[in-house]
Amino acid sequence: MPAHALRAIITRPGQEADAWVAQIEHHGISALALPMIDIVAVPDRTLLTQAWKDLAQYDALMFVSSNAASHFFAARPADVISLWASGTKAPRAWVTGPGSRAALLAQGVQATRIDMPAPTAQSLDSEALWLQVESQIQAGTRILIVRGDKATESADGLAASSAKGQGRDWLAVQLQSRGAQVDYVVAYARRPPQWSAEQRAIVAQSLLGKDVWVWSSAEALGNLLAAFPGQTWAEAKAVATHARIAQAARLAGFGKVALARPGLAALCASIESLA
Mean pLDDT (the chain, rounded): 88
Q: So what's the pLDDT on residue 1?
A: 44
Percent of the chain with pLDDT over 70: 91
Per-residue model confidence as pLDDT tens digits over 192-224: 999 999 999 999 988 886 799 999 989 999 999
Check residues 101 and 261 and name the one with the higher pLDDT: 101
Q: What is the pLDDT of residues 116-173, one digit of tens each?
A: 999 888 888 899 999 999 999 999 999 999 999 864 444 333 333 333 333 348 899 9
pLDDT recorded at residue 165: 37
d(CA 38, CA 166): 23
Question: pLDDT at position 68, please?
Answer: 94
Adjacent-strand bridge partners of 211: 7
pLDDT digits (tens, 9 = 90+) for 263-273: 889 999 999 99
**With bands split at pLDDT 50, 70 and 90, how would you rate the model's confidence at 86?**
confident
Q: How far apart are CA 170 and CA 187, in angstroms?
A: 20
String of DSSP letters for 204-235: HHHTTSEEEEEES-HHHHHHHHHHSTT---TT
Contacts of 217 (CB under 8 A, 6+ apart): 11, 12, 36, 37, 152, 153, 154, 155, 245
Residue type, 189: A
The confidence score (pLDDT) of residue 150 equals 67
Query: In order of start, what are the domains of the chain with their CATH numbers?
Result: 6-37+193-273 (3.40.50.10090), 40-191 (3.40.50.10090)
Structure confidence at residue 201 (pLDDT): 93
89: pLDDT confidence band, cut at 50, 70 and 90? Answer: confident
Instruction: Decide the pairing of beta strands 38-41 and 181-191.
Output: antiparallel
What confidence tens digit (pLDDT) does each residue in 4-33 have?
Answer: 478 999 999 988 899 999 999 999 999 999
Q: Give the separation between CA 13 and CA 191, rounded to whole angstroms.
A: 10
Length of the chain, in residues:
275
